Amino acid sequence: MSVVSTCRGSDAVKEILAVIRMNKINATKRALADAGISSITARKVMGRGKGKVDYLLLQGAQAGHEEAICQLGPGPKLIPKRMLTIVVPDHVVPKAVRTIIDLNRTGSPGDGKIFVLPVLDTIRVRTGETGDQAIDEMAL
């Protein structure tokens, strides 16, 4: 039996990459668990957003004006963030995204971003199951 197979699930699987504030991680984990999404991977990352950047300066620098480049400097310092990786079936994506947004939203810049990417296949290492069977959140 071949362990690796092509995606055969009826429901596509998506990877949600969420970059959020450091201090929101525990509440987010709890809320996701309450929503039935228990499997997550979290790691510490450093990042910056477009936050405090003046777009006129950026455009100037892009056009090659020395003054704009000098004013821009080496850019804002990187800020520590947490990155969550969650793999869920298609129909759970809106729920997961809403849970993360509701909890992490303070309204000010720096709250983070959420990206949704396609996943071709999932394999559970313990049993070798592929596709739908390897995703716990399928029943949600």
Partner 1 sequence: MIMIRAIIRPEKSDEVLAALMYAGFPAVTKMDVYGRGKQRGMKVGEVIYDELPKELIFTVVREADKDLVIETIMKTARTGTKGAFGDGKIFVSQVEEVYTVSSGIREGEEMSAIALSAT
Minimum CB distance to partner 1 smaller for 1 or for 107: 107
Please name which of 17, 23, 16, 40 lies closest in space to residue 81, comparing C-alpha atoms.
Answer: 23
Residues in contact with partner 1 by CB under 8 A are 14, 18-20, 43-51, 53-56, 58-59, 61-62, 69, 72, 74-76, 78, 81, 83, 93, 97, 100-101, 104-118
Q: Which two tokens stand for residue 109?
A: 């810049």
Cβ neighbours, 10 Å, residue 102: 10
CB of 44 to partner 1, least distance (A): 7
Between 101 and 133, whose beta carbon lies closer to partner 1? 101
Q: How far is the CB of 13 from partner 1 (least distance, A)?
A: 12
Shorter beta-carbon distance to partner 1: residue 1 or 64: 64
CA dist., res. 33 & res. 39, Å (int): 8
Report the distance separating Cα 8 and Cα 76, nearest Å.
Answer: 45
Sign of CA dihedral 127, 129, 134, 140: negative
C-beta of 49: minimal distance to partner 1 in Å?
Answer: 5
